[in-house]
Amino acid sequence: MTHVTGPDGQPRAPRLPHRARLLVVAAYVLLGTAVVMDLASDPRWTVSPVLATAPVLASIGSRKAMVPMLVGLGALALVAPLALADDEVPMLVHLTSGFTVLAITCVSTANVLLVATRERELLQSRSVAEAAQQTLLRPPPERLDGLRMAVRYLAAAAEARVGGDLYETLATPFGTRLLLGDVRGKGLSAIDTAAAVLGTFREAAQVEPSLAAVAGRLDAAMCRRQPGEEFVTAVLVQVAEPGRAELVNCGHLPPLLCRAGRVREVPVPVPQPPLALLGMADDTYRGQAFVFERGDLLLLYTDGVTEARDAAGRFYPLAERLAGMPESAPAALLDRVVADLLAYAGGELSDDAALLAVRREQ
């Protein structure tokens, strides 16, 4: 069931699935039939105990405490005529039925109040998460220095909205610089690490002439954090020269380059370690140039995309699927990829996923 809110921002009753609605209607019909049969049949037996199901049925899908309360009081009021109709049934049975109806009415009403309160808390948490996402993961401009771009972010946990994947696009004195990364970790600590990487990138990208130096600054910032913090795989791209671009890959998945209907990886001749692990390799980051011509589209992505599995356990073949998609505009292409990915994975992902598509128009 999906939880929706009313105009006042408060949770409204969710729409039950069709089969569930049919079952609830059938239960009401059975309850009504039982009461009619009791009034019209042998006075030596009674169905008054089944009236206790009425407030329970009324509470299903409801977010207003008055609904089960009123239905329960109505059921309680029916106990009296049933007691008169079934005058050969011991009064103790009817009294027990009345107390049972009253007790379950109180429990059903309390349950509705509890569920509504928890849903309000969840809505508040989601609002905070959305605000954090807007601060950390700002949507890129549609056009920037001859580039057309779009991004899509899918959080595996619907309640979180924000995870450990990160991205940024910046216009700098040295050209347009892009970042996409994946924190190896979960929860609030991963979000904190992502915030630190993004903050460092936004500052370093504006002052460091070399893209490799920007990556070095990111690694140094990660190393200054407390021991045991997550490392980050990342890919940095700089687009400045006509027909050319530069890539620094810090242990991340290789970007895909789409040109004239063909899709290929932008290779990394020498593997380079993720951020926070450069010191262990006793090395420095190096950039590599690649051809990025007018009309080309570059796709950066995290492993939440390529590690999505279908019902048979097969990984999502991103490059193969991408080659068969005719869309050339980044936003339209990513919408197509996301729809195809979710359909392939059965509607939900096991890990956060981020995609950044950039098309060169000049």
- The predicted structure's pLDDT at residue 43: 67
CA distances from residue 193 to 17, 78, 214, 223, 235 in whole angstroms, order as listed: 40, 62, 17, 11, 16
Q: Assess whether 72 and 177 both reside in one domain.
A: no
- pTM of the predicted model, to two decimals? 0.69
Q: Assess whether 103 and 183 both reside in one domain.
A: no
Q: Assess whether 276 and 157 both reside in one domain.
A: yes
Our count of domains for the chain comes to 2
What's the whole-number mean pLDDT along residues 4-10?
51
Which residues lie below 8 Å from residue 63, measured CB to CB, with a gap of 6+?
10, 11, 12, 13, 112, 115, 116, 119
- For 105-114, b/e burial (b = at least 16 CB within 10 A) is beebbebbee
pLDDT per residue as tens digits for the range 232-251: 999 999 999 889 999 999 99
Spell out the alpha helix ranges (H) of 86-167: 91-136
Q: Assess whether 215 and 328 both reside in one domain.
A: yes
- HSE on the CB side for 36, CA within 13 Å? 6
Q: Assess whether 117 and 153 both reside in one domain.
A: no
Please give the structure tokens belonging to residue 113. 């109040």
Of 277, 222, 282, the closest CA to residue 252 belongs to 277
Of 238, 362, 361, 265, the closest CA to residue 322 belongs to 265
What's the whole-number mean pLDDT along residues 311-322?
94
Please determine, for residue 159, whether its predicted confidence score (pLDDT) is greater than 60: no
What's the whole-number mean pLDDT along residues 254-272?
90
Contact of 293 with 239, CB cutoff 8 Å: no
Structural domain including 23 reads: 4-131
- The predicted structure's pLDDT at residue 168: 95
Confidence of residue 131 (pLDDT cuts 50, 70, 90): low
Q: Among 131, 164, 199, identify where a domain stops.
A: 131
Q: Assess whether 347 and 249 both reside in one domain.
A: yes
Which residues lie below 8 Å from residue 166, measured CB to CB, with a gap of 6+?
136, 137, 179, 180, 181, 182, 183, 194, 197, 198, 232, 354
> In the chain, what's the furthest Cα-to-Cα distance?
97
Of 64, 66, 69, the closest CA to residue 54 belongs to 69
Which residues lie below 8 Å from residue 99, measured CB to CB, with a gap of 6+?
none
Q: Among 83, 99, 131, identify where a domain stops.
A: 131
Q: Assess whether 241 and 338 both reside in one domain.
A: yes
Which residues lie below 8 Å from residue 335, measured CB to CB, with a gap of 6+?
152, 327
Radius of gyration over every alpha carbon of the chain, rounded to an integer in angstroms: 30
Contacts 24+ apart (CB under 8 A), 325-333: 328/297, 328/359, 329/148, 329/150, 329/359, 330/148, 330/149, 330/150, 330/297, 330/357, 330/358, 330/359, 331/142, 331/150, 331/357, 333/150, 333/297, 333/357
Please give the structure tokens belonging to residue 351. 């890990």
**232-239: strand order across its sheet:** 165-172, 175-183, 232-239, 244-250, 288-291
Confidence of residue 10 (pLDDT cuts 50, 70, 90): low
**Euclidean distance between CA atoms 211 and 207, whole angstroms:** 10
Q: Assess whether 323 and 197 both reside in one domain.
A: yes
pLDDT per residue as tens digits for the range 281-309: 778 899 999 999 999 999 999 999 999 99
CATH no. for residue 181? Answer: 3.60.40.10
What is the pLDDT of the chain when averaged over all its residues? Answer: 85
Q: Among 106, 131, 156, identify where a domain stops.
A: 131
- The predicted structure's pLDDT at residue 15: 66
Q: Assess whether 43 and 170 both reside in one domain.
A: no
Contact of 219 with 278, CB cutoff 8 Å: yes
Please give the structure tokens belonging to residue 201. 């990138």
Q: Assess whether 249 and 272 both reside in one domain.
A: yes
Task: Out of 30-44, 140-154, 176-190, pick the least confident.
Answer: 30-44
Contact of 293 with 270, CB cutoff 8 Å: no
Please give the structure tokens belonging to residue 151. 């991004």
Please determine, for residue 171, whether its predicted confidence score (pLDDT) is greater than 90: yes
Q: Assess whether 230 and 336 both reside in one domain.
A: yes
- Other C-beta atoms closer than 10 Å to the C-beta of 150 total 19
- Other C-beta atoms closer than 10 Å to the C-beta of 20 total 13
Q: Assess whether 103 and 251 both reside in one domain.
A: no
**CA geometry: angle 140, 245, 198, nearest 5 deg:** 40
